[in-house]
């Protein structure tokens, strides 16, 4: 047994569990994937460790004992919200305000569907209980907390089997004394119950956003907590003694203890790892402006990175509930490789959002799936090789795909199997292109100014068509495309994001008060990072949420300062920057009008020891040595053509491939369409240039 220590990045997805492992102090890594085992994710992780051990020539128990760090990306919170199977939750609020969670500030999801049913209630009305208390808008206590009412409510919750309690009182972001006292009472009366306070989850103005975010945290955290501690117990029993970190939605990592109490901050745990890795790899290859497209088994996740920084979400919703904590602005749609094709009541072909998931999976997996999926369609269109899936470890059944397409789509629609597959592919690709437009065009960004980084197991199959539709000239596909979210865990730093309400007009900012808030946020973020085990130097980023007076949407503006203290010069610059950013987003600015600051944001980052990415020398050879055959593939606007097939593992930096062609990496497929050419660079990145 060697004395090396390992780091492991794990992304537990809906279909596969991806892993990336490296030895500390060494360049390079080993990657792979295993099928996800629903309700038994620990086994998938242990299977990954076994494959890693075999690769490095050690025993699985030896590698597990030497694991210094596991960074986990998980979909537990996302799935909890999508399936509405979280904890039995109660809400304690100010008397008279228990219906804020349903009134939603009058927000309408559909302007034209007046009969749209409300979302399933995370907290049914009978478990939303108001108590006597009142804090004024100044933070002064107008009506003291009636503790006897609180005790009675908590006892009723205990009798009803409530598992989690959300506490959200008016103006608690200005004075949190009542909320903290309620938590003390809950712990006295019902110590086994999980409880979270809005003053800690989201100390921000706007009641609906605050109560919705707090309720989501209360609803999801117990399930995430049980999952994480159950996972750690299993790993420890097998010999693991290192640290278990969890990928956060803000693009950083935190320890298990923090994550277990902040489920709402892990709602995009898996996809955020992919964004972080895309940022690092894109910069390495010389691209700081990116749109990422992550196509997995169940979803397609997109994010815009401008000048080396991912956009931050300000209006995120998940499963029809508002999430207002700071997180990466990742837009998700139900268009993955497992998305199911179906015919609606009007006779129209539809794709998703239903997914075949990991079990039974697409029909071609041979696990009992009978419905046609996007993966089945791409197999029939010739993009995938049945014998090369997962590097040849899994064989795909093309006849099963054809049978599923024929039974459920071709015959009902009166078309051929090939046309059904083409229709599915076009619908899925169009949905993904619209997602790219959503994070770019709708945010004031021109997609032609960005490179498209395609990843996920199936992301590079349709990327060439999407780029053509949006006018994007460059596509980037890393060799690690299928495991990029797991890789992101090894490239991420410790990060805490804090937010605090601070309402002031541009002419009435109290700098002492503003600096006092930032100092308090810094102290709390530092405490959390130190408790998570971080030991490095801090990097501090500060922002303000600003709008024109009367607006209800804010623009997040950076505060630039060389010191911890914000000066009038720093403030004035940020206010000037606001007008320019507003014009970029909304096509107008009013620099002569006063503005209002609504909230302060702070990010504190501590670097982790992370993976060193290898580089490779350029080769003067042509790509002919990597060509392994030809196959009929479908090209939009042309039809089926015979295209060369390349073995990706045989390609070397500098090799050029002219489309149409297909490149098979061990765990991803890259389609180079007509009028496109691909070159592998020294960092293992396929750079595809688009002519038209």
Around Cβ 138, how many Cβ atoms within 10 Å?
9
Across the range 547-569, mean pLDDT stands at 91
The more confidently predicted of residues 440 and 110 is 440
pLDDT > 70? residue 227: yes
Radius of gyration of the chain, Cα coordinates, nearest whole angstrom: 26
pLDDT > 50? residue 1: no
Residue 124: predicted pLDDT: 96
pLDDT tens readout for residues 434-478: 999 999 998 889 999 999 999 988 899 999 999 999 999 999 999
Across the range 185-211, mean pLDDT stands at 95
Burial 408-437 (b: 16+ CB within 10 A, else e): bbbeeeebebbebbbbbbbbbbbbbbbbbb
pLDDT tens readout for residues 636-647: 889 999 999 999
Q: How far is CA 397 from CA 18, 75, 182, 375, 421, in A?
A: 23, 28, 59, 11, 15
Q: How far is residue 557's CA from residue 314's CA, in Å, rounded to a whole number?
A: 12
Q: How far is residue 426's CA from residue 417's CA, in Å, rounded to a whole number?
A: 14
Across the range 649-669, mean pLDDT stands at 92
Residue the block writes with tokens 């979302």: 119
Query: How confident is residue 2, by pLDDT bands cut at 50, 70 and 90?
Result: very low
Residue 399: predicted pLDDT: 94
- Neighbour-count burial of 5, counting CB atoms closer than 10 A to its CB (0-12 exposed, 13-18 middle, 19+ buried): middle
Q: How far is CA 357 from CA 19, 248, 340, 354, in A?
A: 19, 23, 10, 9
Residue 4: predicted pLDDT: 62
**Cα 281-385-37 angle, rounded to 5 deg:** 70
Burial 177-199 (b: 16+ CB within 10 A, else e): bbbebbbebbeebbeebbbbbbb
Q: How far is residue 533's CA from residue 67's CA, in Å, rounded to a whole number?
A: 16
Query: How confident is residue 3, by pLDDT bands cut at 50, 70 and 90?
Result: low
Across the range 18-38, mean pLDDT stands at 83
User: In this structure, what token pair is assigned to residue 357?
Assistant: 């998931």
Residue 358: predicted pLDDT: 67
Q: How far is residue 282's CA from residue 476's CA, in Å, rounded to a whole number?
A: 8
Residue the block writes with tokens 């015959």: 411
What is the average pLDDT score of the chain? 91
Q: Are the CB atoms for 315 and 323 separated by under 8 Å?
A: no
For residue 491, the Cα-to-chain-centroid distance in whole angstroms is 15
Around Cβ 533, how many Cβ atoms within 10 Å?
14
The more confidently predicted of residues 637 and 687 is 687
Query: How confident is residue 298, by pLDDT bands cut at 50, 70 and 90?
Result: confident
pLDDT > 60? residue 14: yes
State what percent of residues in the chain have pLDDT above 70.
Answer: 99
State what percent of residues in the chain have pLDDT above 90.
Answer: 70
Burial 624-654 (b: 16+ CB within 10 A, else e): eebbeeeeebbbbeeeeeebbbbbbeebbbb
Residue 539: predicted pLDDT: 92
pLDDT > 80? residue 282: yes
pLDDT > 90? residue 610: no
Query: How confident is residue 662, by pLDDT bands cut at 50, 70 and 90?
Result: very high
Nearest to 485 by CA among 647, 662, 246: 246
Q: Are the CB atoms for 526 and 540 separated by under 8 Å?
A: no
Residue 183: predicted pLDDT: 97
pLDDT tens readout for residues 136-173: 999 999 999 999 999 999 999 999 999 999 999 999 99
The more confidently predicted of residues 60 and 178 is 178
Across the range 668-677, mean pLDDT stands at 94
pLDDT > 70? residue 426: yes
Residue 362: predicted pLDDT: 92
629: left (phi over 0), alpha (psi -120 to 50) or beta: left
Among 83-87, 158-162, 361-365, the range with the most confident prediction by mean pLDDT is 158-162
Q: How far is residue 280's CA from residue 277's CA, in Å, rounded to a whole number?
A: 5
Around Cβ 457, how many Cβ atoms within 10 Å?
26
Around Cβ 40, how many Cβ atoms within 10 Å?
11
pLDDT tens readout for residues 388-421: 887 777 889 999 999 999 999 999 999 999 999 9
For 524-578, what is the HEC assignment?
A: HHHHHHHHCCCCCCCEEEEEEEEEECCCCCCEEEEECCCCCCCCHHHHHHHHHHH
Q: Give the pTM.
A: 0.89
Q: Where are the alpha helices (DSSP H) in 160-205?
A: 177-189, 198-201
Any idea where the domains of the chain sit in the sequence? 6-80+226-266, 81-225, 494-606, 623-690
Across the range 204-217, mean pLDDT stands at 94
Residue 302: predicted pLDDT: 94
Residue count of the chain, please give it. Answer: 692
Q: Which fold has domain 494-606?
A: Dna Ligase; domain 1 (3.30.1490)
Taking domain 6-80+226-266, whether its CATH number is 3.30.420.40 is answered by yes
pLDDT > 50? residue 278: yes
Strands 451-455 and 474-478: parallel
Across the range 166-189, mean pLDDT stands at 97
C-alpha dihedral, 55 to 57 to 59 to 63, nearest 10°: -70
Across the range 168-190, mean pLDDT stands at 96
């Amino acid at each position: 047994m060697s004395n090396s220590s390992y780091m492991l990045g794990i992304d537990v997805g809906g279909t596969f569990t991806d892993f990336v492992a490296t030895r500390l102090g060494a360049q390079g890594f080993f990657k792979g994937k295993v099928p996800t085992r629903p309700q038994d994710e620990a086994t998938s992780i242990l299977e990954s460790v076994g494959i890693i051990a075999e690769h490095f020539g050690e025993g699985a128990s030896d590698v597990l004992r030497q694991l210094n760090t596991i960074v986990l990306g998980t979909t537990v919170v996302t799935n909890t919200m999508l399936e509405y199977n979280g904890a039995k939750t109660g809400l304690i609020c100010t008397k008279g305000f228990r219906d804020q969670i349903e009134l939603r500030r009058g927000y309408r999801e559909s302007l034209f569907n007046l009969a749209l049913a409300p979302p399933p209630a995370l907290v049914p009305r009978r478990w939303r209980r108001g108590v006597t208390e009142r804090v004024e808008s100044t933070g002064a206590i107008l009506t003291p907390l009636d503790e006897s009412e609180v005790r009675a409510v908590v006892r009723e919750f205990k009798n009803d089997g409530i598992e989690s309690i959300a506490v959200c009182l008016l103006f608690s972001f200005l004075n949190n004394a009542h909320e903290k006292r309620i938590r003390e009472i809950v712990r006295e009366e019902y110590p086994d119950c999980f409880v979270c306070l809005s003053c800690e989850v989201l100390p921000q103005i706007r009641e609906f956003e605050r109560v919705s975010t707090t309720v989501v945290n209360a609803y999801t955290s117990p399930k995430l907590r049980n999952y994480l501690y159950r996972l750690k117990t299993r790993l420890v029993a097998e010999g693991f003694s290192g640290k278990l970190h969890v990928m956060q939605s803000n693009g950083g990592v935190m320890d298990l203890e923090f994550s277990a109490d902040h489920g709402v901050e892990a709602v995009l745990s898996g996809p955020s790892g992919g964004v972080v890795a895309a940022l690092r790899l894109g910069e390495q290859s010389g691209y700081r402006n990116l749109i990422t497209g992550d196509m997995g088994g169940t979803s397609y996740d997109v994010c815009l990175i401008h000048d080396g920084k991912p956009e931050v979400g300000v209006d995120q919703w998940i499963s029809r509930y508002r999430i207002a904590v700071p997180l990466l602005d990742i837009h998700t749609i139900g268009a993955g490789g497992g998305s199911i094709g179906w015919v609606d009541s009007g006779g129209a072909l539809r794709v998703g959002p239903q997914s075949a998931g990991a079990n039974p999976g697409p029909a071609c997996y041979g696990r009992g799936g009978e419905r046609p999926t996007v993966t089945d369609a791409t197999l029939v269109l010739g993009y995938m090789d049945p014998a090369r899936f997962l590097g040849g470890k899994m064989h795909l059944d093309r006849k099963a795909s054809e049978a599923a397409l024929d039974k459920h789509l071709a015959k009902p629609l009166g078309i051929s199997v090939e046309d059904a597959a083409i229709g599915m592919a076009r619908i899925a690709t169009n949905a993904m292109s619209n997602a790219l437009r959503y994070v770019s065009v709708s945010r004031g960004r021109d997609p032609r100014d960005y490179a498209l980084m395609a990843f996920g197991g199936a992301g590079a199959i349709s990327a060439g068509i999407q780029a053509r539709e949006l006018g994007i000239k460059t596509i980037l596909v890393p060799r690690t495309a299928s495991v990029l979210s797991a890789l992101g865990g090894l490239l991420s730093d410790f990060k805490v994001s804090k937010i605090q309400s601070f309402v002031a007009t541009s002419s009435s900012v109290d700098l002492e008060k503003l600096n006092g808030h930032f100092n308090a946020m810094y102290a709390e973020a530092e405490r959390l990072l130190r408790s998570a085990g971080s030991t490095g130097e801090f990097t501090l980023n500060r922002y303000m949420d600003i709008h024109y007076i009367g607006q209800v949407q804010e623009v997040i503006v950076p505060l630039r300062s060389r010191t911890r203290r914000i000066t009038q010069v720093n403030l004035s610059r940020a206010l000037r920057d606001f007008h320019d950013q507003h014009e970029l987003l909304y096509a107008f600015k009013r620099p002569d009008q006063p503005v209002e600051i609504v909230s302060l944001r702070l990010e504190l980052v501590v670097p982790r020891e992370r993976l060193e990415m290898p580089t490779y020398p350029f080769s003067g050879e042509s790509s002919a040595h990597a060509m392994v055959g030809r196959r009929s593939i479908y090209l939009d606007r042309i039809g089926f053509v015979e295209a060369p097939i390349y073995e990706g593992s045989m390609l070397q930096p500098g090799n050029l491939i002219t489309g149409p062609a297909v490149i098979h990496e061990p765990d991803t497929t890259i389609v180079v369409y007509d009028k496109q050419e691909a070159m592998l660079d020294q960092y293992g990145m396929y750079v595809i240039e688009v002519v038209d």
